[in-house]
Amino acid sequence: MADPALLILGGTTLAMGIARAAAGPGRRAVYSLAGRTEPKSAPDMEVRTGGFGGAEALADYLRRENITAVIDATHAYAAGISANTRAACAAANIPLLRLQEPPWQAQPGDRWIDVMDLAEARDKAAEIASRVFVTTGRQAMAQFAGDLRCWWLARVIAPGADLPELSHGGYVYDRGPFDLSGELTLLYDHKITAVISKNSGSAATYGKIAAARELALPVIMIARPVSGDEVQVETVADAVSWLDQWRSI
Ligand code: NAP
């Protein structure tokens, strides 16, 4: 049987942070990625790529790989893998920690419009704006492909065959972190009149929110999926404390 291991579900800056903190000699750990994009860097541990095949298959993987604890550090909006992980850990009776940043809070000067989902965000944008910066990820792009109501500028990490052509818009390819001055330039140069965003809470993607505030642009903010009832922490330091506790048991 494989040595006991920690499984970290990744794909975020925070996940890389806990992976770096958790790695060490004599400590087996596995870092898991969905594999949608080429990672910028990989942690110093076993890395596996691709879906598990659903909650039951993930529970089988946990048992087979002798996983004894799981940290779900996926993006706040990656609701599918988080639900599967919750179910799989419960089925395999393995402790689970959810690590995610708290959502950003609106500051004075912010013009946020809260919406429930992507479709509502798109409709709201069409109502109030003409040139819209869309930062909701590549999987959302099909919903904008044929929509002629606004000019959509979508930012994704890299080109790919999965990205539909936008009938009325275009792509910028870039990977965070994004700072305020770069975001101001982008919004200004493209004459953007509204931003669509998820509330990831990440410092790496906050630049667009600060830039929109500075330019007095509305940000159409898509609500976070509801959290589960597993133990939740918001910082790498708190995740390390949880790990230390788990290792001392
Ligand atoms: P999702 O809808 O919850 O995931 C869809 C499926 O992809 C999951 O059911 C699982 O497939 C597989 N998967 C997702 N994350 C995985 C991981 N870390 N390791 C192995 N399999 C994984 O998630 P998503 O929104 O597509 O996000 C995919 C990945 O991108 C996540 O890891 C997330 O952290 C990262 N990410 C997402 C966003 C976002 O806005 N959603 C932004 C930045 C980064 P099976 O059911 O086959 O196991």
Within a 13 Å sphere around the CA of 74, how many CA atoms are in the beta-carbon half? 22
- The strand ranges marked E within the chain are 5-9, 28-33, 46-49, 67-72, 96-99, 111-115, 131-134, 151-156, 169-173, 194-198, 218-222, 231-233
| Dist CA 74 CA 16 (whole Å) | 10
Q: Mind listing the pLDDT tens digit for each residue in 70-129?
A: 999 999 999 999 999 999 999 999 999 999 999 999 999 999 999 999 999 999 999 999
In the chain, the N- to C-terminal Cα span, in Å, equals 21
As for ligand 1, residues whose beta carbon falls within 6 Å of it are 9-12, 32-34, 36, 51-54, 58, 74-75, 77-81, 84, 137, 139, 198
What does the pLDDT read at residue 181?
Answer: 98
Of ligand 1's listed atoms, the one at least distance from the Cα of 11 is: 34
Domains recognised in the chain with CATH numbers: 5-102+226-248 (3.40.50.720), 111-222 (3.40.50.720)
| Nearest partner of 224 among 54, 66, 75, 71, judged by Cα | 75
* pLDDT, average across residues 131-160: 97
Which residue's CA is the closest to the ligand 1 atom numbered 32? 11
Residues forming beta bridges with residue 8, ordered by sequence position: 31, 71
